């Protein structure tokens, strides 16, 4: 197990010989900024998702920002996202100049509840941004139906969901736009990196302009833009991993199955639900520690960390539940997300990555069972 004797980390970043070779090739080429490697990376993202276009950017947050900007939002326009997500989702909305609202989540899959979304839509709503949290796709059919009824754009935050499927269709290929992160600990990674996928030719063209100072040809600026370009080195780190994605996903799924089989009977410990029509990417394997458990979530976390297991809490609060957002004029909390606020106090993620050995899995199960029992 990489990561050191006695410690099972929540994520492991490896360096395979193919990655070293490709990075070295880039370094020796003298061409380090967006070029042929980035194009290869984009082609692989199209293959992964089935989308016609993939626009690589320097991280998953800028992918969200540029996807929002591509929609030409105006001040006052609202984006509805999930109340339970990583803060980047909310920061990207604010960075784009839009106003954020929050749909609550369902407690069994942690994803945006379509029933909670519907009543939030108003005349200022322009975009719905579901998040495929922990790697399980949100209910895209139900959410798309609501978006279509109100003529809203869709941006899927698929930062954690490489290779995940909804009714057998890979996420990132539904109408609208989807964004992925290639941050170092993601299922596919480039250190830092991101991509927007879309089938829409006009959006793709605008995304490419926005990524590179709004420049169509050298010093021909069509719109004010950014430098959101991905480096060739980052693309070279990611490229060799795509061939292994199916294996990475199935090993993560097998670890998740193992945990659920061996932990399901623990009182108060709720194992994660995979909806029958979804393929989970298992970026995180997340339990809920509810009142029936002999110990609190925080006590369980402490005990697991003491046992050398890098369990963690993703995320400790609803995304808006910080003073800097509660007082922000473009963060509209309204009724808030009561379920999101509760699950944030219950969740705990166990290491589920593809580098776990059989004995790591057994060790984790034994440690959770022991930690969840009164001392």
Q: How far is the CB of 208 from ligand PLP (least distance, A)?
A: 19
Contact pick of 88, 128, 143, 248 for ligand PLP (by CB under 6 A): 88
Q: Is the peptide bond before 126 cis (omega within 30 degrees of 0)?
A: no
Nearer to ligand PLP, 158 or 372 (CB): 158
Nearer to ligand PLP, 114 or 135 (CB): 135
Contact pick of 59, 96, 174, 286 for ligand PLP (by CB under 6 A): 59
Nearer to ligand PLP, 134 or 363 (CB): 134
Nearer to ligand PLP, 107 or 181 (CB): 181
* Contact window for ligand PLP (CB under 6 A) among 8-16, 56-64, 195-203, 357-365: 56-64
Q: How far is the CB of 263 from ligand PLP (least distance, A)?
A: 24
* Contact window for ligand PLP (CB under 6 A) among 7-15, 86-94, 110-118, 255-263: 86-94
Site for ligand PLP in 182-211 (CB under 6 A): 183, 194
Instruction: Name the H helices within the chain.
Output: 17-29, 36-49, 60-69, 87-95, 114-117, 140-149, 201-211, 232-238, 245-263, 297-306, 323-326, 338-343, 358-371
How many residues touch ligand PLP under the rule CB under 6 A: the total is: 14
Site for ligand PLP in 107-136 (CB under 6 A): 131
Nearer to ligand PLP, 117 or 372 (CB): 117
Contact pick of 49, 81, 89, 173 for ligand PLP (by CB under 6 A): 89
Sheet (strand 269-270) strand order = 269-270, 285-289, 347-350
Per-residue 3-state assignment (H helix, E strand, C coil) for 275-326: CCCEECCCCCEEEEECCCCCCCHHHHHHHHHHCCECCECCCCCCCCCCHHHH
Nearer to ligand PLP, 57 or 295 (CB): 57
120 secondary structure, DSSP code: G
- Binding status of residue 231 toward ligand PLP by CB under 6 A: no
Judge whether 312 and 339 are in contact, CB under 8 Å. no
How far apart are the C-alpha atoms of 115 and 330, rounded to whole Å? 23
Please name which of 158, 157, 78, 80 lies closest in space to residue 117, comparing C-alpha atoms.
Answer: 80
Helix (H) or strand (E) holding 74: none
Residue nearest to ligand PLP (CB): 60
Judge whether 82 and 112 are in contact, CB under 8 Å. yes
How far apart are the C-alpha atoms of 130 and 139, rounded to whole Å? 9
- Binding status of residue 86 toward ligand PLP by CB under 6 A: yes
Judge whether 271 and 259 are in contact, CB under 8 Å. yes
What residues line the site for ligand PLP (CB under 6 A)? 59-61, 85-86, 88-89, 131, 157, 159-160, 181, 183, 194
């Amino acid at each position: 197990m990489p990561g050191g004797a006695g410690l099972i980390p929540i994520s492991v970043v490896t360096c395979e010989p193919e990655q070293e070779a490709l990075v070295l090739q880039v370094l020796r080429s003298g061409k380090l900024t967006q070029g042929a490697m980035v194009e290869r990376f984009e082609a692989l993202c199209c293959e992964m998702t089935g989308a016609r276009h993939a626009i690589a950017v320097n991280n998953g947050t800028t992918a969200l920002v540029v996807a929002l900007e591509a929609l030409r939002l105006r001040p006052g326009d609202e984006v509805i996202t999930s109340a339970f997500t990583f803060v980047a989702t909310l920061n990207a909305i604010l960075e784009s100049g839009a106003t954020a609202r929050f749909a609550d989540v369902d407690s069994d899959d942690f994803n945006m509840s379509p029933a909670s979304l519907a009543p939030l839509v108003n005349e200022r709503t322009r975009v719905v941004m579901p998040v495929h949290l922990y790697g399980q796709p949100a209910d895209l059919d139900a959410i798309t139906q609501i978006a279509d009824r109100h003529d809203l754009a869709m941006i899927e935050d698929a930062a954690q969901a490489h290779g995940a499927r909804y009714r057998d269709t890979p996420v990132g290929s539904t109408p609208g736009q989807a964004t992925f992160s290639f941050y170092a600990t993601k299922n596919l990674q480039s250190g830092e990196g991101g991509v927007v996928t879309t089938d829409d030719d006009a959006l793709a063209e605008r995304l490419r302009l926005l990524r590179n100072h709004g420049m169509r040809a050298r010093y021909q600026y069509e719109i004010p833009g950014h430098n959101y370009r991905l480096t060739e080195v980052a693309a070279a780190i990611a490229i060799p991993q795509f061939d292994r994605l199916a294996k990475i996903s199935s090993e993560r799924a097998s670890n998740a199955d193992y945990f659920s089989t061996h932990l399901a009977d623990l009182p108060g410990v709720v194992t994660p639900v995979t909806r029958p029509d979804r393929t989970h990417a298992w970026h995180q394997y997340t339990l809920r520690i509810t009142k029936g458990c002999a110990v609190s979530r925080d006590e369980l976390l402490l005990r697991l960390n003491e046992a050398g297991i890098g369990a963690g809490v993703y995320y400790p609060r609803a995304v808006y539940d910080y003073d800097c957002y509660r007082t922000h004029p473009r963060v509209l909390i309204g009724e808030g997300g009561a379920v999101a606020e509760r699950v944030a106090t219950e969740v705990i993620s166990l290491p589920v990555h593809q580098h776990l050995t059989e004995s790591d899995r057994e060790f984790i199960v034994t440690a959770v069972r022991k930690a969840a029992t009164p001392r």
